Amino acid sequence: MKSKIRSKVLKISFGTLAVLTFAVAPSFQYSQNAVFADPYQEKIDKLNAGIEENQKKISELSEQGDTLANKLEEIRLETANLQAKIDSNEAKNASLAAQIKEAEVKLDKNKEVLAKSIRKLYIEGDISSLEILASSKSLSDYVDRQEYRDRVKNKISDLTEGVQKIKDEMEAQQKEVGNLLRDQVGMRVDLTSKQGELDKLITETKGQESAYQNQVQADSVEVTRLKKEQQEANAAQIAPRSGGISYVPSSGQANGGYPTYWARASQDSLVDSWGMYNRECVSYTAFKVWQSGRNMPYWGGRGNANRWPSNARNAGIVVDGNPKVGDVAISMVGYYGHSMYVERVNGDGTIMVSQYNYGIRGEYSEMTTSSSGLYFIHF
């Protein structure tokens, strides 16, 4: 439980008006030396240890799941960027293929046009230099016709070489893009595989986390059930001997004078002047000791009822098995024990007590019970 420091000013009427300043101290802790007098605590402790361990695993799995989710998001972004590059290169590859085809068509058309021109001039373009000379009107005409023939041949050669060069360059680019595409597609396959593995791991992690959460929930329910049974069994061992038990509304003197401020607040929502939670048995008996004008030590932090006998002895206060009016009676039953205020000592070995939180009700009550087996603290 977390420590709390509070300061309250409370006015209480006990025949005279007193102003109390409550310096609230840390709530009490449970000592390893506390008495265990029932069969429930071992089960409760084992379940609580399991709950704590499972909660650690849940935290670890949650962190692992977050890490996997972040990695998965990185891979998805990487895959998206890679796909964009693949789309761009595929478009580029298609464009190069179209350009190569267009160049080839253009080259074929140019060759056909030039071939027709040569055939028209030279009868299918197969005329020797002697034939050109013989058919020429003059030497100058021969030279002109020879030069024209050479220019046509050179032009065909230049066009062919130019188109071939362009085609070769585009085919080289197409090969480079193709190799890049092949690598990128392979990378995409790997990323898709990793994404599938991460999806599977995330699903498994969430499944394990859910299983641990269900176990924690089930164990918590079981702890609550065991504690209820434990408290009921403990209360049964301090059952009233005669006259039953009388529960009284928590207000004013009708509840043993317990301050209304504490009595009307939700149980365990406030801490009293001695470090005890309100509407608990120890808070009530501490108040009763103080109300009677005696010194009530501050026992916050070690305020379990079953710690009071050792606390009292350490403070030099007498503790024995002989009840007196005004004593605090302590039952060591259960994990916390139970404290009661002795109102009357009967001649048959019973005592009439007032108390809070008997039967785990958080209420004031009175009962007559046996004094046997109880410790009595003579403040």
The answer to whether the predicted template modeling score (pTM) of the entire model surpasses 0.85 is no
* Domain with residues 7-30+243-378, CATH architecture: Alpha-Beta Complex (3.90)
Is pLDDT larger for residue 148 or for residue 277?
277
Average pLDDT of the chain, as a whole number:
77
Q: What is the number of other CB atoms lying within 10 angstroms of the CB of residue 3?
A: 13
Query: Looking at residue 164, what is its pLDDT?
Result: 75
Domain limits, the chain: 7-30+243-378, 63-221
The string of pLDDT tens digits covering residues 170-202 is 888 878 888 888 888 888 888 888 888 888 888
The answer, yes or no, to whether residue 139 has pLDDT greater than 80, is: no
Percent of the chain surpassing pLDDT 70 = 70
Per-residue pLDDT, averaged over 67-82, amounts to 86
Q: What is the mean pLDDT of residues 43-52?
A: 89
Residue 318 per-residue DSSP state: E
Half-sphere CA count of 321, side-chain side, radius 13 A: 7
Contacts with 104 (C-beta within 8 Å, 6 or more apart), sequence order: 163, 167
Note the pLDDT of residue 12: 31
> What is 63-221's CATH number, 1.10.287, 2.60.40, 1.10.3470, 1.10.10?
1.10.287
Half-sphere exposure of 14 (CA within 13 A, CB side): 17
Does the structure show a pLDDT above 90 at 290? yes
Residue 343: both structure tokens together: 């109102």
Taking alpha carbons only, the member of 365, 358, 340, 344 closest to residue 250 is: 365
